[in-house]
Amino acid sequence: MELLKRYEGNPILTPDRWPYPANAVFNPGAVEFRGEVLLLVRVEDFRGFSHLTIARSPDGYSDWEISPEPTLSPDPEYAEERWGLEDPRIVWLPDREEYAITCVSFSKGGPVVSLITTRDFREFSRHGSLVPPEDKDAALFPRTFRGRYALIHRPIIRGEAHIWISFSPDLRYWGEHRVLLPVRPGWWDCHRVGLGPPPIETDEGWLLIYHGVRVTASGSLYRVGLALLDLDEPWKVVRRASTWILGPREDYEFRGDVPGVTFPTGTVLRGDELLVYYGAADKAVCLARASLRELLEFLRREG
Ligand code: BMA
């Protein structure tokens, strides 16, 4: 049984139907905003730099209305944004009554995670980078734990690319760093792992959708896996599925700038239906859906 079912209308967003010249549109943040699905899409221009642009749809599947110009472009005042903004993840922070966007900004020192907040997706406040480079694939939890914000991210340390969790009292000073989900030598997720969309709160724990990389003779394969974290102590992994639930298969997942990539970065939950937005082959935005209940059952069985 297929847990994540691809939408028949895939890819839902492509560079040739973008309102201005773009080489690739992919790896979007996703959120439900004012009754619509709002995607903050990574757009790569023909210099090879990325910025973020909003696309909205009333149902999350079709009728996408794309902003005619970039929503968030790299700001020259912020040195870390020199070579662009990439791969945003979006979370609503109820205590601050604003959205937290964690994206990768590309500095001279390497990729690093930046925090940008907004209430309305029109005006944005920049908070700079969170932890030193090299770091990527980050999202905050939508709530605090014993008064501390928690960040999942993927630093590269001594060449190792595991998923980490860190804590902060104020979103500025970060500590209590721990490895959360390591790569598994020999497995499909042996070379690199990184968080996908922000963690999803369920009765059984925080559902993590992550990508795992295996390097092969003809390039890297980016597939998608699942894990479950303890609800109150999210540094504890309760379950981790052994098999991937989505991987490159369709033409649009092989035909692009980086063939063999499925890279989820945003979800929208409607009742039991989970819409998962992912970048395909670093070229286009795609959609797959799952039943949240089925994903949790699968983790109970396979985790
Ligand atoms: C990762 C990120 C993603 C990209 C993926 C596949 O390291 O840079 O933006 O989609 O590689 O190229």
Torsion angle of alpha carbons 286, 291, 295, 301, nearest 10°? -140
Residue 97 placed within a domain: yes
User: How far is the centre of ligand 1, averaged over its atoms, from the C-alpha of 137 (Å)?
Assistant: 9
Strands 237-240 and 262-270: unpaired
Strands 284-291 and 273-280: antiparallel
Q: Is residue 259 pLDDT above 80, yes or no?
A: yes
Cβ count within 10 A of residue 244:
21
User: How far is the centre of ligand 1, averaged over its atoms, from the C-alpha of 97 (Å)?
Assistant: 30
Structure confidence by residue, pLDDT tens digits, 8-62: 999 999 999 999 999 999 999 999 999 999 999 999 999 999 999 999 999 999 9
Q: What is the domain range of residue 191? A: 20-302
The CB of 137 under 6 Å from ligand 1? The reply is no
Among the atoms of ligand 1, which is closest to the Cα of residue 258?
A: 12
For the segment 117-130, the average pLDDT, to the nearest whole number, is 97
Distance CA 65, CA 122 (A): 16
Across all residues in the chain, what is the average pLDDT?
97
Residue 272 placed within a domain: yes
Structure confidence by residue, pLDDT tens digits, 181-217: 999 999 999 999 999 999 999 999 999 999 999 999 9
Residue 11 placed within a domain: no
The pLDDT > 90 percentage for the chain reads 97
At 302 the pLDDT is 87
The pLDDT > 70 percentage for the chain reads 100
pLDDT band at 303 (very low <50, low <70, confident <90, very high): confident
Type of residue found at 252: Y
Residue 7 placed within a domain: no
Residue 274 placed within a domain: yes
The CB of 87 under 6 Å from ligand 1? The reply is yes
- The total domain count for the chain is 1
Structure confidence by residue, pLDDT tens digits, 130-181: 999 999 999 999 999 999 999 999 999 999 999 999 999 999 999 999 999 9
The CB of 260 under 6 Å from ligand 1? The reply is no
Q: Is residue 1 pLDDT above 80, yes or no?
A: no
User: How far is the centre of ligand 1, averaged over its atoms, from the C-alpha of 96 (Å)?
Assistant: 30
Length of the chain: 303
Residue 2 placed within a domain: no
At 5 the pLDDT is 98
At 188 the pLDDT is 98
Residue 257 placed within a domain: yes
Taking CA 267 as the corner, what is the angle to CA 38 and CA 72, rounded to the nearest 5 degrees? 40
Torsion angle of alpha carbons 67, 35, 7, 258, nearest 10°? 40
The CB of 206 under 6 Å from ligand 1? The reply is no
At 287 the pLDDT is 98
Is-above-0.95 flag for pTM?
A: yes
The CB of 265 under 6 Å from ligand 1? The reply is no
User: How far is the centre of ligand 1, averaged over its atoms, from the C-alpha of 282 (Å)?
Assistant: 7
Residue 4 placed within a domain: no
CATH number assigned to the domain comprising residue 254: 2.115.10.20
The CB of 86 under 6 Å from ligand 1? The reply is yes
Among the atoms of ligand 1, which is closest to the Cα of residue 263?
A: 10
Which residue of 102, 282, 285 sits with most ligand 1 atoms within 8 Å of its CB, as the best mutation to test the pocket?
Answer: 282
Distance CA 29, CA 279 (A): 10
**Residue closest to 301 by CA, chosen among 3, 100, 86, 83:** 3
